[in-house]
């Protein structure tokens, strides 16, 4: 019984692993190690797999658990998200042939400057590949609100990147 | 496109195309390590101790079982106590016989006999009347309904309000028939309605024979219970109307209520989808009861009638949908008031 359950769970998880990992890396940045978040989320999801109504919504199920775990973690730690300035300075201009990993780390750090809702909406939309409708369901908001969040999030991110790049190079964009 | 927008798009593109640092196999392995495999369930603690004790004492347990069965058997047998010992022996027998399926309880017989001797009141019907009573049919297919003068048939979907005087036969609060014959009348009737298995409340005794084709079996039960108090001995009768979409059973229900002396000044009910959409009753009694009941959307209606030592009805209580949480409140036959209940399904 347990074996069957585990097999079913892993079969479901295999299809969404990459997207889930990307979400956790972007979302947990500055809060907790993303591996821990993934681990805990998977464990909780495994225990509550019976509550999953549709297999197609497994990724949403996982992400919902991750969000709650992150919220609980923050509440316990009471850590004010403070971006690490030093990492931001490691941004490599995409025109240059610098490693992608460095840029991705820069993006994750830059995202931590945004408000939670905007950050999450941007991660879900741009990185995880969710639709506006799915994000609206996850965040319990209207689609219009999600679009607004995405727009404001992009603007905020642009401002952050602009400021940090100025900080690094001393030039204006 | 501005430069920062281009950078953002490029960053997101990188993030999307990045290969995962943690592979699926790694996560699967971690999960397998973290998920505990439940060991085979072994009884522990108190349950294990009890099990062991039971296994050890199989012989003793079987003796206890045999003795218990014997006691129950002898306890359930209808006893014929001597007159001088009847006062005490009947109480014991009554308590034991609650679990039996005997339709007539010895204590009830004694109560009836006592009542017959002490209260030879006019409303008590003769045996001929009782025979007639047991055959009355309040449905439209049976025009001879001695205890009702309800006019018009009740349409299942939308019956018209009916003004009913059901106590016109001169009955008072006394039961018009003996306990053994009381349910036989309505139950013996057979209609074309569907039949379902009967359900009775545990610890209560379904009165009278009930034919399997009777609609009352599924929708209408009578449960009698005898409570022996230190101060007084009294009896309660539960009349339960279940699955109220059955017209005949509903009609029986009201008929039986009226036979206990209730006068239904107003009776209106509407059915839909297996439940009573709404019901309005105006119950009166010659002892002064003036009680209105309004209820919306329910499936089960239960009247509990309280009888005193002399087997006189002195109160009743109403419960809907077998709501055990709500404490029953006895309503006196002299009370005046109203109840409004609303349920959602």
Q: Where are the domains of chain A?
A: 1-81, 83-173
| Helix pair angle (A2-28, A58-77), 10° resolution | 60
pLDDT at A99: 65
Within this chain, do residues B164 and B204 fall inside the same structural domain, yes or no? yes
Residues B82 and B135 in one domain: no
Tell me, yes or no, whether B236 and B304 share the same domain. Answer: yes
Residue of B nearest to A158 (CA): B4
Among the three residues B33, B66, B97, which one is the final residue of a domain in this structure? B97
B148 and B60 in a common domain: no
Which residues on chain B are in Cβ contact (under 8 Å) with A167?
none
Interface test with B, best of A65, A157, A159 (most B CBs within 10 A): A157
pLDDT of residue A90 exceeding 60, the answer is no
> For the segment B266-311, what is each residue's pLDDT rounded down to a tens digit?
777 777 666 667 778 888 888 888 888 887 777 777 888 888 878 8
Q: Give pLDDT tens digits for B90-138.
A: 333 333 333 333 334 444 444 444 444 444 444 444 444 434 443 333 3
pLDDT number for residue B8: 82
B132 with B196, same domain? yes
Would you say the pTM of this structure is higher than 0.80?
no
Does B196 share its domain with B323?
yes
Compute the nearest-CA separation of B108 from chain A (Å): 54
Instruction: Determine the residue of chain B that is closest to A99 in CA distance.
Output: B14
Q: Are residues B292 and B172 located together in one domain of the fold?
A: yes
Mean pLDDT of A124-137: 90
Say if residue B37 is in the same domain as residue B160.
Answer: no
* Residue B226 shares a structural domain with residue B141: yes
Query: How far is Cα B241 from Cα B302, in angstroms, rounded to an integer?
Result: 6
Q: Which of A44-48, A49-53, B115-119, B132-136 has the highest mean pLDDT?
A: A44-48
Q: Is residue B91 a part of any domain in this protein?
A: yes
Contact A10 B38 (CB under 8 A): no
Give strand ranges (E) for B186-344: 205-206, 220-228, 233-241, 262-272, 275-285, 290-298, 301-307, 313-320, 331-332, 336-342
Hey, are the CB atoms on A104 and B32 less than 8 Å from each other? no
Nearest-CB residue to A154 (from B8, B16, B28) = B8
Residues of A in contact with B14 (CB under 8 A): 94, 100, 103-104, 107
Instruction: Say yes or no: B137 and B28 in one domain.
Output: no
Domain count, chain B: 2
Architecture of domain A83-173: Orthogonal Bundle (1.10)
Strand partners, A117: none
Q: pLDDT at position A151, please?
A: 92
Domain spanning A1-81: which CATH class is it, in words?
A: mainly alpha
In a domain, residue B318? The reply is yes
Q: Taking the mean position of all CA atoms in its chain, how far away is CA A171?
A: 30
Residues of chain B with pLDDT under 50: 81-218, 230-231, 345
B31 and A107 in contact by Cβ < 8 A? no
ipTM (interface predicted TM): 0.75
Whether B168 and B35 map to the same domain: the answer is no
Q: Quote the percentage of chain A above a pLDDT of 70.
A: 81
Q: What is the pLDDT of residue A148?
A: 93
- B chain contacts of residue A42, beta-carbon cutoff 8 Å: 27, 30-31
Full domain range(s) for residue B174 = 120-342
Q: In whole angstroms, what is the distance from residue B245 CA to residue B194 CA?
A: 11
Chain A nearest-CA distance from B230, in A, is 54
Q: Which residues pair with B220 in a beta bridge?
A: B241
Contacts of A39 in chain B (CB under 8 A): 27, 30-31, 34
For residues B4 and A162, the answer to whether their CB atoms sit within 8 Å is yes
Q: Residue B1 falls within a domain, yes or no?
A: no
Which residues in chain A have Cβ-Cβ distances shorter than 8 Å to B32?
A: 6
CB contact B12 to A (< 8 Å): yes
Q: Is the Cβ pair B3, A173 closer than 8 Å?
A: yes
Average pLDDT of the residues in A16-31: 85
Cα dihedral B251/B253/B255/B259 (nearest 10): 180
CB-nearest to B4 from A2, A25, A162 is: A162
pLDDT at res. A149: 92
Residue B112 lies in a domain: no
Are B15 and A104 inside 8 Å of each other by CB?
Answer: yes
Q: Which residues from B are below 8 Å from A38, CB to CB?
A: 22, 27
Within 28-57 of B, beta carbons closer than 8 Å to A belong to 28, 30-32, 34-35, 37-38
Cα B208 from Cα B104, distance rounded (Å): 8
Average the pLDDT over A96-110 and give the result.
Answer: 75
Tell me, yes or no, whether B165 and B308 share the same domain: yes
Report the pLDDT value the prediction gives residue B48, as an integer from 0 to 100.
67
Yes or no: say if B195 and B212 are a contact pair by the CB < 8 Å rule: yes
């Amino acid at each position: 019984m347990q074996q069957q359950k585990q097999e079913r769970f892993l079969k479901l998880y295999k299809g969404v692993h990459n997207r889930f990992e990307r979400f956790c890396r972007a979302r947990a940045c500055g809060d907790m190690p993303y591996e821990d978040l993934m681990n805990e989320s998977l464990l909780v999801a495994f225990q509550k797999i019976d509550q999953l109504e549709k297999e197609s919504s497994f990724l949403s199920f996982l992400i919902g658990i991750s969000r709650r775990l992150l919220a609980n973690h923050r509440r316990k730690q009471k850590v004010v998200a403070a971006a690490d300035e030093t990492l931001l300075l490691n941004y490599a201009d995409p025109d240059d042939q610098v490693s992608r990993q460095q840029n991705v780390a820069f993006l994750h750090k830059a995202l931590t400057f945004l408000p939670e809702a905007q950050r999450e909406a941007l991660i879900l939309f741009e990185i995880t590949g969710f639709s506006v409708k799915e994000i609206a369901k996850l965040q319990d908001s209207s689609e219009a609100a999600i679009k607004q969040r995405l727009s404001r999030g992009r603007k905020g991110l642009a401002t952050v990147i602009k400021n940090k790049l100025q900080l690094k190079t001393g030039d204006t964009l | 496109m501005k430069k920062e927008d281009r950078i953002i798009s490029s960053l997101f593109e990188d993030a999307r195309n990045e290969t995962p640092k943690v592979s699926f196999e790694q996560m699967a392995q971690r999960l397998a390590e973290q998920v505990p495999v439940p060991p085979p369930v072994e009884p522990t603690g108190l349950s294990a101790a009890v099990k062991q004790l039971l296994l050890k004492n199989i012989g003793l347990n079987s003796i206890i079982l045999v003795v218990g069965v014997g006691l129950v058997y002898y306890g359930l047998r209808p006893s014929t106590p001597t007159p001088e010992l009847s006062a005490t022996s009947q109480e014991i027998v009554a308590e034991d016989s609650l679990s039996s399926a005997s339709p007539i309880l010895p204590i009830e017989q004694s109560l009836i006999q006592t009542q017959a001797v002490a209260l030879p009141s006019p409303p008590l019907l003769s045996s001929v009347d009782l025979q007639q009573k047991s055959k009355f049919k309040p449905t439209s297919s049976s025009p001879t309904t001695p205890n009702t003068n309800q006019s018009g048939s009740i349409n299942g979907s939308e019956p018209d309000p009916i003004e009913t005087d059901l106590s016109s036969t001169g009955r008072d609060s006394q039961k018009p028939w003996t306990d053994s014959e009381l349910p036989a009348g309505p139950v013996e009737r057979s209609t074309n309605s569907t039949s379902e298995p009967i359900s009775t409340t545990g610890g209560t005794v379904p009165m009278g024979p009930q034919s399997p084709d009777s609609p009352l079996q599924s929708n209408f039960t009578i449960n009698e219970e005898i409570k022996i108090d230190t101060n007084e001995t009294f009896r309660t009768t539960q009349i339960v109307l279940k699955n109220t979409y059955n017209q005949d059973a509903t009609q029986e229900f009201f008929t039986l209520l009226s036979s206990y002396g209730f006068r239904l000044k107003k009776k209106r009910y509407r059915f839909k989808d297996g439940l009573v959409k709404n019901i309005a009753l105006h119950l009166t009694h010659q002892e002064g009861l003036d009680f209105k009941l309004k209820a919306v959307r329910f499936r089960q209606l239960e009247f509990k009638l309280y009888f005193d030592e002399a087997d006189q009805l002195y109160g009743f209580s109403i419960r809907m949908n077998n709501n055990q949480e709500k404490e029953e409140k006895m309503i006196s036959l002299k009370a005046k008031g109203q109840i409004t209940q609303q349920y959602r399904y």
